[in-house]
């Protein structure tokens, strides 16, 4: 939490929901210059914050927290300096303790209630039993029609493209508020991350081996592993083994027989 910042900006996408491009751009001024971002995301239990993936930390502005109606108090008793953010729904307060460098932070990995997450049970309390039942039905239909995104699902329902559909636009929106994004839809649309490149390292053969084992005797055979054929060889004395997959048994069978 920063009392000198005037904007909420996060760099950790894993704690945000519904990250998308905003219609405006935020220019963030700091000591090293200016950083610009047009991405925003929803922080569960708090609201919309700016998203800048190249930032160094997640920042909540003290002034923005107060503007959203949170009651913030400061406690310096016994040298245990901490900022206490009391939620409007009289839930568990969020504690921001002072670090060794003087900044106030909250550990979002702790399991004692300091994580800024909301649960389905908490979200259900904002809706009637009938509204929750319709939202649950909307989520089940979304799964049946191949996990469409909320945007496509809303478009289909609004244009009445799903015959005899028992749900409405409002039910789909409520399902998103209660259950969050559909997991099946997220898995199907998640872009594959770039894998770690494989570094090839070549080791030179010692000159003594080259001179001593100038003529190499190989022993080989065809091996079947779960109906997949491999041609396996091993060199005498060196004990260097090698194998590769083959498609034609006949092509290598004469070679294997001559090596027995």
Residue 111 predicted with pLDDT over 50: no
Distance, in Å, from the CA atom of 89 to the CA atom of 87, rounded to the nearest integer, reads 5
Residue 177 predicted with pLDDT over 90: no
Q: What is the pLDDT of residues 116-175, one digit of tens each?
A: 455 677 677 778 889 889 999 999 999 898 888 888 899 999 999 988 999 999 999 999
Residue 260 predicted with pLDDT over 70: no
Return the sign of the alpha-carbon dihedral for residues 245, 251, 257, 260: negative
Whether the CB-CB separation of 84 and 65 falls below 8 Å is answered with no
Whether the CB-CB separation of 18 and 181 falls below 8 Å is answered with yes
One-character DSSP codes across 177-208:
HHH-S-HHHHHHHPPPPPPPPPPP---PPPHH
pTM of the predicted structure, to 2 decimals:
0.38
The answer for residues whose C-beta is within 8 angstroms of residue 186's C-beta and 6 or more apart is none
Q: Among 27-31, 40-44, 238-242, which is the least confidently predicted range?
A: 27-31
Q: Give 62's Cβ-side CA count (13 Å radius).
A: 14
Burial (0-12, 13-18, 19+ Cβ within 10 Å), 235 = middle
Residue 58 predicted with pLDDT over 70: yes
Strands 94-98, 82-86: pairing is: antiparallel
The answer for residues whose C-beta is within 8 angstroms of residue 144's C-beta and 6 or more apart is none
Domain boundaries, the chain: 9-105, 121-188, 215-259
The total number of residues written for the chain in this structure: 260
- Residue 56: helix, strand or coil by DSSP? coil
Residue 113 predicted with pLDDT over 60: no
Return the sign of the alpha-carbon dihedral for residues 65, 67, 72, 76: positive
């Amino acid at each position: 939490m920063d009392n000198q910042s005037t904007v909420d900006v996060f760099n950790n996408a894993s704690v945000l929901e519904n990250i998308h491009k905003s219609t405006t751009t935020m220019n963030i001024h700091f000591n090293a210059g200016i950083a610009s971002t047009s991405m925003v995301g929803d922080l569960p239990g708090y609201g919309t914050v700016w998203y800048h993936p190249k930032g160094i930390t997640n920042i909540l502005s003290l002034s923005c927290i107060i503007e959203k109606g949170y009651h913030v108090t400061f406690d310096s008793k016994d040298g245990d300096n901490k900022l206490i953010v009391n939620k409007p729904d009289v839930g568990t307060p969020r504690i921001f303790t002072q670090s060794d460098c003087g900044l106030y932070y909250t550990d979002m990995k702790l399991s004692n209630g300091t994580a800024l997450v909301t649960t389905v049970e908490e979200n259900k309390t904002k809706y009637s039993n009938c509204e929750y039942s319709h939202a649950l039905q909307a989520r089940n239909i979304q799964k049946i029609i191949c996990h469409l995104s909320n945007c496509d699902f809303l478009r289909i329902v609004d244009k009445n493209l799903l015959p005899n559909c028992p749900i409405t636009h409002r039910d789909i929106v409520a399902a998103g508020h209660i259950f969050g994004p559909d997991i099946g839809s997220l898995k199907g649309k998640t872009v594959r991350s770039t894998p770690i490149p494989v570094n090839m390292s070549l080791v030179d053969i010692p000159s003594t081996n080259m001179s001593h084992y100038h003529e190499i005797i190989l022993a080989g055979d065809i091996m079947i592993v779960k109906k997949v054929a491999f041609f396996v060889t091993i060199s005498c004395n060196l004990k260097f083994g090698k194998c590769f997959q083959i498609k034609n048994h006949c092509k290598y069978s004469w070679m294997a027989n001559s090596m027995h």
